Structure 1
């Protein structure tokens, strides 16, 4: 599976559209034109009111979609602040302009409280703090032979090798070296069709793949441009691998 858990996505979407749900509720209960409602909202006279109306729940939604180390404390902080603001709500003030907070916000808030309690379970918190538990982020690996060259940090000599499988995060390549180089840094140069990329990498393991001895390497991107360019190359590799697989099935 390559996608985030469905409950995370649904609740995050509800967070992101929560300001629109409030506007829809205003429309349904007051029958005012939407333009009048938006104009009244635009006259909020404090930064706190603007924040609570437009940004509070969407920030929680973005945090929930992020599922990173920073996401958990941000999500919980948003919900704690929301609980505080609801408990201290003054009738007929913004952002609800009613005797009690509106039911869409109360519904999402109830879900949030349930989520906070749910996230207290250690197994549920793991994806936020352990990247390996984010199964939807795992990159697909393609088995394909690609010529490459490399140089180790301990030597300036440029040597030829071959990629046997590759993903956006790393590759398995044949290396005529001893296992003593595990953990060593290297620079690897990969060319696929007309695209070439040179990346820093770290040798993380020595094993066999398809009865060939080699090393697993992890790419160490220096900037976002390298990541984007590698994404482009991986799309080309994906198409080539799928075409090759289809040809094998047809043979």
Structure 2
């Protein structure tokens, strides 16, 4: 995969850093050296409890970043677990390994509750279940604003239709009458003195940048059609209309964090002095 949605990258980073942030805050709150606190917990907790306390969230973040179909279920289960942990602390005062103040536990409870509801929404759920909806697994897509005519057979189904964005594999078209997914369409438009006509099949109906429309995949592409698409892509790229470039800064930072974590994990852990 070339990139990921910004939300997945941010949650992965958040999950990798949340245990670290909790340890640091707990050491400040309880006036204990963070190294001593971590060493104490390492020797006090069982292997399972230590993993659940310090390694579960980073592991879940990496699983989410992999964006497999099973990643979604694991993420939901971990969110339910984190909600139950933080909820039990400020509701019934159960002991917690970090020994954080109630207000901070409430913050993490609300944070994980919000993430759970966000990932339960239809748009996010379908993206994990239906891989054809994953824009980050497709070709680079460019913002467009070309007026088009859309036909289903001999019937025109577009009313002031427009190409919202385009890639070498398909387009997103707005202002199209209600049609079913897997419907074959003809998309016609003119640029200057050149006429273009492409066959496409709808793969999803969604809303992009507050614009409702259909994502359609090109089909029956001849060499001439491929050359025409290449021309259109080159023209859009020249105008710097690339939409899918989240990787440039954030993903590089993420991989730097992963590499640093690997180096830290290789360091020998000290024996207990307690």
After TM superposition, the score normalised by the length of structure 1 is 0.50
Give the corresponding residue for 1:97. 99
- The Cα offsets for residues 128-172 of structure 1, whole Å up to 9 and x where unpaired, read as 11112111122469xxxxxxxxxxxxxxxxxxxxxxxx99xxxxx
Given that residues 49 and 95 in structure 1 are in contact (C-alpha distance below 8 angstroms), is that contact kept between their aligned partners in structure 2?
Answer: no
Q: How far apart, in 1, do the equivalents of 2:136 and 2:21 lie?
A: 29
Q: 1:99 Cα deviation (Å)?
A: 6.0
After TM superposition, the score normalised by the length of structure 2 is 0.46
Aligned residues: 153
Q: 1:43 Cα deviation (Å)?
A: 1.7
- The Cα offsets for residues 103-144 of structure 1, whole Å up to 9 and x where unpaired, read as 2x6534423211222233222212211112111122469xxx
Equivalences for residues 181-192 of structure 1 within 5 A: none
Given that residues 27 and 34 in structure 1 are in contact (C-alpha distance below 8 angstroms), is that contact kept between their aligned partners in structure 2?
Answer: yes
Q: 1:28 Cα deviation (Å)?
A: 2.0
When residues 75 and 212 of structure 1 are mapped into structure 2, their CA distance, relative to the original with a 3 A threshold, is closer
Give the corresponding residue for 2:73. 73
Q: How far apart, in 1, do the equivalents of 2:41 and 2:128 lie?
A: 35
Q: Which has the higher contact order (CA 8 A, sep 6+)?
A: 2
Q: Give structure 2 stretches of 5+ with no counterpart.
A: 142-167, 170-218, 228-233, 235-274
Equivalences for residues 33-52 of structure 1 within 5 A: 33-52=33-52
Q: Give the aligned CA root-mean-square deviation in angstroms.
A: 3.5
Q: How far apart, in 1, do the equivalents of 2:88 and 2:137 lie?
A: 40
Q: How far apart, in 1, do the equivalents of 2:134 and 2:114 lie?
A: 21
SS class of match (1:10): helix
Q: 1:47 Cα deviation (Å)?
A: 3.3
SS class of match (1:207): coil
Whether 1:207 and 2:221 are equivalent positions in the alignment is yes
Give the corresponding residue for 1:14. 14
Q: How far apart, in 2, do the equivalents of 1:138 and 1:53 lie?
A: 37
Q: How far apart, in 1, do the equivalents of 2:226 and 2:26 lie?
A: 67
Give the corresponding residue for 1:113. 113
Given that residues 52 and 95 in structure 1 are in contact (C-alpha distance below 8 angstroms), is that contact kept between their aligned partners in structure 2?
Answer: no
Q: 1:33 Cα deviation (Å)?
A: 2.5
Q: Give structure 1 stretches of 5+ with no counterpart.
A: 142-165, 168-204, 214-241, 243-251
SS class of match (1:43): helix
